Every structure is written in C-alpha cells, then in structure tokens.
C-alpha cells in the first residue's frame, strides 16, 4: 500500500531532499502529496518544484496572530489527507490543536540525542556541555517540545576540535540516513507505540 505523506519545512530542506530521493528510489513506499511551508523564500520550495510536488505556502508573516496562522495551517494539512506529516526543518512549534488533530501521524527530526539538548542550537548545547557523543533523533510529535516517543537515533563522536558548524555537518549526514529510514518504517506499518516506547516490528 502506497502511503500519502506531506512535508512541512521552513528552510533549505536537505532532509526533505533525502526523503524525496528515497521515494524516487523506491525505498519508501509512499507518495509525497505536498510541501507545506511558512516561508515563501524557503529553498525547499525549489526542491519540491523539481520533484513535481505541489507547494502550499502559508506565510506566517501575513497573519495577524499565531492563532489565525495555525487555523490556516490546520486547514491546509487536513486537505492533504496524508497518512503521515514529516517535519523536515519546520521552525515553528505546532500548537496543541494541530498536534491533537493528527495523533501519531507526525514525525520530527532533532539534531541531538533526546531527551538531551531540546530546542534551538542543540549542537552548540552539546559542545558547551562537554558530551563525547552527539547525534540525531527521529521521534513522533506530541504536545511537548522535542518530547514524543523516539523512533530512531544515530550517533557521532564529538571531537575536541569541533565547533557548532562542524558538529552540525556530521550530524546532518546521519539525519539524511535516519529520517528516510524512520519514514520507511512508518509507511511499511512497522512502528508500534507502547507508552513512551516505539517498537519496530519485523
């Protein structure tokens, strides 16, 4: 069964590209039905257009309040009739109403080994804290920031010579492996949420 996925992105969309590539290679049994973005300048739009994926722009700056923006976003998401929403560098915290509308149907990637270093600048947080391992986490989205059940994690060593940019680059390489893999497992119906744990079925 081919699943319908929609991607939310705010920026360059390199993780979005990794998912496009995996779909085109036949690795992910899904069709990307839309890119939804809050940023009309996002390079992710170029990636979507090259792949023939419809683009929905909901410019945050054009709304008088966050509430009005989220109402428009929710409507746009509902129109996609997607089995899964993929947050690939979407830089806004989703409101409770949106999260509750799509329970266990949204996944996010975060450049840290959750539950450590939530929020912005996770790579900088890791370096400043002095950890020896960093990495990325793919997780389901719930009502709390970077807190939903964890699907996959991948690690990288933190080198003494690292700065925020060099660590971020190595983590991003792992993100491009982990995110398509997690989306594939979802689309194959192999993920089961039991409490806080995500079990991967054979």
If pLDDT is split at 50, 70 and 90, which confidence band does 1 have? Answer: confident
Q: Is the pTM value of this prediction over 0.75? A: yes
Neighbouring residues of 86: CB distance < 8 A, sequence distance ≥ 6: 5, 6, 7, 8, 16, 19, 106, 107, 179, 183
Tens digits of residue pLDDT in 18-59 = 999 999 999 999 999 999 999 999 999 999 999 999 999 999
* pLDDT reported for residue 159: 98
Q: List phi, psi (to 5°) of 88.
A: -110, 80
List domains and CATH numbers for the chain. 3-200 (3.40.50.170)
Question: Tens digits of per-residue pLDDT, 113-167?
Answer: 999 999 999 999 999 999 999 999 999 999 999 999 999 999 999 999 999 999 9
Specify the pLDDT at position 158: 98
Catalytic site residues?
Answer: 110
pLDDT digits (tens, 9 = 90+) for 169-201: 999 999 999 999 999 999 999 999 999 999 999
Of all residues in the chain, the percent with pLDDT exceeding 70 is 100
- Exposure string (b/e) for 108-126, b if CB count within 10 Å is 16 or more? bbbbbbbebbeeeebbebb
Kindly state the average pLDDT of the residues 75-87: 98
For the chain, the average pLDDT equals: 97
Edge-to-edge, what's the strand order for the sheet holding 133-140? Answer: 55-57, 30-37, 3-8, 84-87, 106-110, 133-140, 150-157, 197-200, 191-194
Please name which of 155, 114, 154 lies closest in space to residue 132, comparing C-alpha atoms: 155
């Amino acid at each position: 069964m081919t699943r319908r996925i929609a991607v939310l992105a705010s920026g360059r969309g390199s993780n979005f590209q990794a998912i496009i590539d995996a779909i085109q290679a036949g690795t992910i049994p899904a069709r990307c039905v839309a890119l939804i973005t809050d940023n009309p300048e996002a390079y992710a739009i170029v990636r979507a257009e090259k792949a023939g994926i419809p683009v929905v722009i909901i410019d945050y700056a054009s709304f008088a309040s966050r509430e009005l923006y989220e109402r428009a976003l929710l409507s746009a998401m509902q129109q996609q009739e997607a089995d899964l929403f993929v947050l690939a560098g979407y830089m806004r915290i989703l409101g409770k109403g949106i999260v509750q509308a799509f329970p266990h149907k949204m996944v996010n990637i975060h450049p840290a080994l959750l539950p450590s270093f939530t929020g912005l600048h996770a790579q900088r947080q890791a370096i400043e804290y002095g950890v020896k391992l960093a990495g990325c986490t793919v997780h389901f989205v719930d009502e709390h920031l970077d807190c939903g059940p964890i699907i996959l994690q991948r690690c990288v060593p933190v080198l003494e010579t690292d700065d925020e940019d060099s660590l971020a680059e190595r983590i991003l390489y792992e993100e491009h492996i982990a995110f398509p893999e997690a989306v594939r497992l979802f689309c194959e119906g192999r993920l089961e949420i039991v409490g806080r744990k995500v079990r991967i079925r054979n």
